[in-house]
Amino acid sequence: MTKSLQSAAEIIIGKIGAARGLDGTVKIIPLTDFEGRFDGLEKISVGGKIFHVESVKHIGGQLFMKFAGVDSREGARALTNKFLTVDRADAAPLDDGEFYTFDIIGCEVFDGDKKLGTVTNVLKTGSNDVFEVDGNILIPALKSAVQSIDIAAKKILVNSNAY
């Protein structure tokens, strides 16, 4: 139901790991549910600075990138642990009924007319997401429990009888 991406203005899609080789190539730790997200990227923000992408390689199940102007192992090491972000406008499209996690967080949750609180976290359980409301209510993100989600109004209607 939700996709893991972090912020509303810029979306975190990965983190830079260790340098690979001597030419400035870096390992990328993907932080997105969209596996092919990095393929075809021309530019990306790294720690708030825009870089042009020279290459994206998938090697042995791992992802590596080379940025223009980063041509040494030392240059690559300077980027280690920085986040890769894209503008919200460049977010991957979602199917109907799917929402980004950062859109869900901050929504007010209602059971009928009764306000239960505000979503403070979305927990990834493996089988389904769980909305954490004010740190003390857990609501499974299932169609049986969540009646509607209105991102524009920041409002979620739930049926407490279903959970």
Q: Where are the domains of the chain?
A: 2-90, 105-162
pTM of the model: 0.66
Distance from the Cα of residue 129 to its chain's centroid: 14
- Model confidence over 115-141: pLDDT tens digits? 999 999 999 888 899 999 998 999 999
Average pLDDT over the chain reads 89
What does the pLDDT read at residue 86?
Answer: 87
Give CA–CA dist 73/25, Å, rounded.
8
**CATH superfamily name and code, 105-162:** PRC-barrel domain (2.30.30.240)
Tokens of 69: 């102007």
Q: Could you tell me the pLDDT band of residue 2, with boundaries at 50, 70 and 90?
A: very low
- Model confidence over 69-120: pLDDT tens digits? 999 999 999 999 999 998 887 777 788 888 888 889 999 999 999 999 999 9
Task: Domain 2-90: give its CATH architecture.
Answer: Beta Barrel (2.40)
Distance from the Cα of residue 139 to its chain's centroid: 20
What does the pLDDT read at residue 7?
Answer: 43
Instruction: Give the SS3 label for residue 160.
Output: helix
Give CA–CA dist 87/55, Å, rounded.
20
Closest C-alpha to 80, from 8, 14, 36, 6: 14
* Interacting residues of 161 by C-beta distance below 8 A, sequence separation 6+: none
Closest C-alpha to 158, from 107, 91, 102: 107
